[in-house]
Amino acid sequence: MDHALIESTLGELVAANSRELERKCEQIAMSYLAQVVEPQFDVDSADFDRDPHLICADRYWNHRFRAEPTLTTAVACAGWMAEHVAAAVHEPILEKWALGYAFITRDSVESAGEIADATRDIVAADDSACNKAYFATLYHAGKLRADFFFDELAQFLDSSPLALAAGPHRESVLFTALRAFAAFGSRRTTAEYACQLFDQVWTSPERTYAATDVALNGLAYSVEFEGRAALLRDRAAEAVGLHPNSHILHFRLATGRWLCGDHDDALISIDTALRLLPAAGWRVSHELLQGQYLARREAIEVARVQARQAAVERENAERTEREITKLAETVRGSVVKVIEGVSIFAAVIAFAVGSLNISLNGNLSLAGRLWIIAAFGGGLLLFALLVIGGTWAVLHRLSRRDPD
């Protein structure tokens, strides 16, 4: 291949429109594949949208992984990166490639035996074995993550010879984020342990975009625990503030708001995620992600309608309860008034009849008659007051009694 001509062509593509850029990079990548030759140019930018060199290399390795989704390919990719990717942009490209290629080949998880064979080859290869093992570990872990194999992922990261061969890279923030993802989804670990790992990622000054997304992804699919929804919402909002053009982080925020019951805000977030999702599905699985986003949007809409219906029903129930309470108070007041009237009327009738009998009794003096009438009237008045007071006290106690 004429590598100088390819270099010249890629340099000219800097000013090309996106359609031409994509087409030419695809052609160059396919020509490398056809001749079984790896690209010979260098990459010094992490701009996956406009850098022709990175786009062409990305196309090449994407096809390689689709054709042979193995750890052997991952080792070859890691070796190419060590020689051709500038140190300043090495980490973001490594993380994006390892997890991205894992996602598109998630249906080809390798067995323990295949992992052991690949590990032996890596360790025996050269002094860069540690770096190659790290990339291969991320690649395999990315497959387990994409398939939501939480327990298998935890076991692989903790005890696999391949993961152990990564050496000091095991302390990287992305490695910790993958461990947090596994812990959140596993029912063999506690929420406290998962949150500890999550906090290590979140508070790390070396936290990367990939680590941020993996940690939030684990929290979004976590076994339920108290405060999970609010934690996801708040942390995703922070992430969106740092990466406002990331469709996946807006999706995470929509999920957190949805779980918190903030349906209107969740709808805004999911619509933003759909708007930011690239129309072309080269690097991302456009149709798959769009399907996930639309399904989440539908779930948010359903939850919002149900919440509104529940609010209306709650308001109607409260209004009915107020009306019943008002009616009960009115009835109690009427009962008291009726009892008061009956008591007074009965006392008056009794007083009148009793007074008449006393008045017709000619054996008593006038003073004696008046004293008896006064004593009799006072007793009847006291009786009426006792009946009225007792009735009021009983009804007042009933009105204050706890409904439960």
What mean pLDDT do residues 282-305 have? 85
What one-character-per-residue DSSP string does 183-232 give?
A: HHH-SSS-HHHHHHHHHHHHH-TT--HHHHHHHHHHHHTPPP-TTHHHHH
Q: Is residue 365 part of a domain?
A: yes
Give the confidence band of 394 by pLDDT, cuts at 50, 70, 90.
low
The total of structural domains in the chain comes to 1
Q: Give me the helix-helix angle, 3-12 and 52-67, nearest 10°.
A: 120
pLDDT value at position 120?
84
Q: Locate tokens 């529940």: which residue? A: 310
State yes or no: pLDDT of 248 exceeds 80: yes
pLDDT value at position 33?
95
Higher-pLDDT residue of 376 and 188 is 188
Digit-coded pLDDT (tens) for 253-277: 999 999 999 999 999 999 999 999 8
Instruction: Count Cβ atoms below 10 Å from residue 33 Cβ, excluding itself.
Output: 15
CA distance 186 to 183: 5
Q: Is residue 16 part of a domain?
A: no
State yes or no: pLDDT of 318 exceeds 80: no
Residue 250 CA to its chain's centroid (Å): 11
| Least reliable range by pLDDT among 44-58, 295-309, 317-331 | 317-331
Higher-pLDDT residue of 390 and 26 is 26
Degrees, nearest 5: CA angle 378-381-383: 110
What mean pLDDT do residues 203-218 have? 97
What mean pLDDT do residues 337-361 have? 58
Amino acid present at 326: K
Higher-pLDDT residue of 187 and 310 is 187
Q: Is residue 265 part of a domain?
A: no
Q: Is residue 182 part of a domain?
A: no
Higher-pLDDT residue of 362 and 21 is 21
Of 203, 307, 304, nearest to 254 by C-alpha is 304
Q: Is residue 238 part of a domain?
A: no
Residue 78 CA to its chain's centroid (Å): 34
Digit-coded pLDDT (tens) for 79-111: 999 999 999 999 999 999 999 999 999 999 998
State yes or no: pLDDT of 65 exceeds 80: yes
State yes or no: pLDDT of 196 exceeds 90: yes
Q: Give me the helix-helix angle, 209-220 and 247-259, nearest 10°.
A: 30
Higher-pLDDT residue of 198 and 318 is 198
Can you tell me whether residue 43 is helix, strand or coil?
strand
Residues of the chain with pLDDT > 70, as a percent, come to 79
State yes or no: pLDDT of 36 exceeds 80: yes
Name the H helices within 35-86: 52-67, 71-84
CA distance 130 to 128: 5
For 8, 59, 98, 124, the CA distances from 52, given in Å and listed in that order, are: 11, 10, 20, 35
State yes or no: pLDDT of 404 exceeds 50: no
CB 376 within 8 A of CB 354: yes
Q: Is residue 340 part of a domain?
A: yes
Q: Is residue 122 part of a domain?
A: no
Q: Is residue 213 part of a domain?
A: no
Instruction: Count Cβ atoms below 10 Å from residue 26 Cβ, excluding itself.
Output: 16
Of the spans 230-234, 392-396, 399-403, which averages the highest pLDDT? 230-234
| Least reliable range by pLDDT among 180-189, 258-267, 334-343, 384-393 | 334-343
Give the confidence band of 335 by pLDDT, cuts at 50, 70, 90.
low
pLDDT value at position 105?
94
pLDDT value at position 55?
94
Measured in degrees and rounded to the nearest 5, phi and psi for residue 85 equal -105, 130
Digit-coded pLDDT (tens) for 135-147: 999 999 999 999 9
CA distance 162 to 155: 12
Average pLDDT, the chain: 86
Query: Domain limits at 393?
Result: 330-400
**How long is the chain?**
404
| Least reliable range by pLDDT among 265-274, 284-293, 339-348 | 339-348
Radius of gyration of the chain (CA): 40
CB 175 within 8 A of CB 157: yes
